[in-house]
Amino acid sequence: ERGVLPSHLLEESSSLETVGNAYFARLLHTEMRGLRRLAIVNNRFHMARTKAVFTHVFTVPLLPGGPKSTYELTYIEVEDRLAPDVLLMRQEKEAVALPRFLPFGPWQKGTPSLRDMHEWLNQENTAYAA
């Protein structure tokens, strides 16, 4: 629809939530293939948190103290095609979750590198922690 060849589309399908989506997209697709320009597509109701998470994940260095990463990220919002009551519920959830992921929020402060993010995902994130 937007003029992108199907062969240029990569879907990250290993994650269970937004942080994992960004983290695995970077490790499984961009780092391995040397990609530096990405388009991130998501629903309007979820885009603020998506931007906060993806911008952080695609900026932090691989290792503590390393150079920041340089990616060109473009965000594309798609319509929220949810029933009004479901959409309201999702918007309320996003409003509660967003502050934690904003710059200078606890998550970004605690994950200054991908190595730190790996630890956070596996020790603190309830979607992945044992």
Beta bridge partners of 78: 43
- pLDDT digit string, tens, across residues 58-83: 999 999 999 999 999 999 999 999 99
- Name residue, tokens 């009004």: 84
Q: What is the pLDDT of residue 105?
A: 95
**How do residues 109-130 score in pLDDT, each as one tens digit?**
999 999 999 999 999 999 998 8
Neighbours of 96 (CB within 10 A): 8
Banded pLDDT at 8 (limits 50, 70, 90): confident
Give the pLDDT mean for 8-37.
Answer: 92
φ, ψ of residue 63 to 5 degrees: the values are -120, 150
Find the mean pLDDT for residues 31-60: 95
Average pLDDT, the chain: 94
Positive/negative CA dihedral, 23, 24, 29, 32: positive
What's the rounded Cα separation, in Å, for the pair 95 and 46? 9
pLDDT at 120: 96
Torsion of CA 122, 125, 127, 130, to 10 degrees: 40
pLDDT band at 2 (very low <50, low <70, confident <90, very high): low
Note the pLDDT of residue 51: 98
